[in-house]
Amino acid sequence: MILVLTSDGDEHADRVVDMLTASDADVAVFDPASYPTAATLEIGHSGDGSTRRTLVADGREVVLDELTALWYRRPLPPVADPRVTARAHVEQECLVVAESLWDSLDCLTVPASRPVIDRAARKPYQLEQARRLGFELPATLITTDPESFLDFYDRHEGRVITKPVHGNQLEAGGERFGRFAAPVSPMDLAHADALRLCPVIVQAYVPKRVEVRATVVGREVFAAEIHSQVSNHTRHDWRHYDPGATPIKPHELPAEVSARCVALVERLGLTYGAIDLIVTPEGRHVFLEINPNGQFLWIEAATGLPIGAAVRDLLMSGVK
């Protein structure tokens, strides 16, 4: 039995679930946001040392102790019944039950259990693990010291970019903003003192021939080159995706870089990871970051790389 944890409208999960079903796999999909209003989670410990953990949703009981694989895709947190007055308390109680369940299951978990995903998603931690494996990194400073930032800026003759330490979604004044990698302009220097209030990642700008998204599934690596430099929208960060002007093609990684990608995913405790690299004009591969649960359909659609099929095969293998 394979359980997929995700929210409604997840095209990636839908694609892989269709593949699993076509391969006669026993698979169930669960949205934790339906708990506790429309689903039941139960943990039972008997006096003889055994346990039984179950999920009941959509009229179906899933014995969680019998799972061969769990795909921790993109689940939302539990949502309390609207009639409940102490909603925050109820939702926190439900979240503890649900997360405790997922974290304790003894089966293959893709990409990993939630605590491992959370740790692997931290950029400072990623950079250190990548460095230890021999990846080339951009010159990097993570700081709240304006003087250190200005020294770094001068040392690299103003050719630096900044990026957030963790999330790239900000909320201020009731509005949401995307925060991507961006070059530092001379005008930005006037606000350097604001760094005392929040840390930032500063990196020397690395010249790009192309950018590479290397998607690791188990021990397989699917690499695609993103020709970000052909469009001003994507020149500094390809996530400002310009579909009409940004070619994406399969990329052949050097064997040692491919092996490092697999080793990084394993070192982070993951079974899946989407790694972003820069290929310099001289052909060097420079590590930027890894997304433990990165999207892949857009790469698959542009290149034909069979990433979804690899995820299906990994889930069906049940191999931890």
pLDDT-based confidence at 230, cuts 50/70/90? low
HSE-CB for 30 with a 13 A CA cutoff: 30
In single-letter form, the type of residue at position 71 comes to W
**How many Å apart are CA 291 and CA 287, to the nearest integer?**
12
**Looking at the predicted structure, is the pLDDT value of residue 26 above 80?**
yes
**How many Å apart are CA 42 and CA 24, to the nearest integer?**
28
HSE-CB for 88 with a 13 A CA cutoff: 0
* Sequence-ordered list of residues with C-beta below 8 angstroms from that of 172, at least 6 positions apart, any chain: none
pLDDT-based confidence at 44, cuts 50/70/90? very high
Mean pLDDT, the chain, whole residue set: 91
How many other C-beta atoms lie within 10 A of the C-beta of residue 232?
10
Among 67-76, 80-89, 189-198, which stretch is predicted with the lowest mean pLDDT? 189-198
Average pLDDT over residues 182-200: 89
**Looking at the predicted structure, is the pLDDT value of residue 175 above 80?**
no
pLDDT for 233: 47
pLDDT in tens, 243-267: 556 789 999 999 999 999 999 999 9
Cα 102 off chain centre by: 18
pLDDT for 246: 77
Q: Return the structure tokens found at 31.
A: 């949205």
**How many Å apart are CA 163 and CA 153, to the nearest integer?**
14
What is the value of pTM for the model shown? 0.91
188 or 91, greater pLDDT = 91
pLDDT for 319: 87
Do residues 277 and 31 lie in contact, with contact meaning Cβ atoms separated by under 8 Å? no
Domains of the chain in start order, with CATH, are 2-106 (no CATH), 139-204 (3.30.1490.20), 207-305 (3.30.470.20)
Average pLDDT over residues 111-129: 96
* Sequence-ordered list of residues with C-beta below 8 angstroms from that of 171, at least 6 positions apart, any chain: 177
**Looking at the predicted structure, is the pLDDT value of residue 67 above 80?**
yes
**Looking at the predicted structure, is the pLDDT value of residue 29 above 50?**
yes
Q: Where are the beta strands (DSSP E) in the chain?
A: 2-5, 27-30, 39-45, 51-57, 60-63, 69-72, 108-110, 140-143, 160-163, 169-172, 175-178, 182-183, 200-204, 210-217, 220-226, 248-250, 272-279, 285-291
Do residues 283 and 272 lie in contact, with contact meaning Cβ atoms separated by under 8 Å? no
pLDDT above 70 covers what percent of the chain? 90
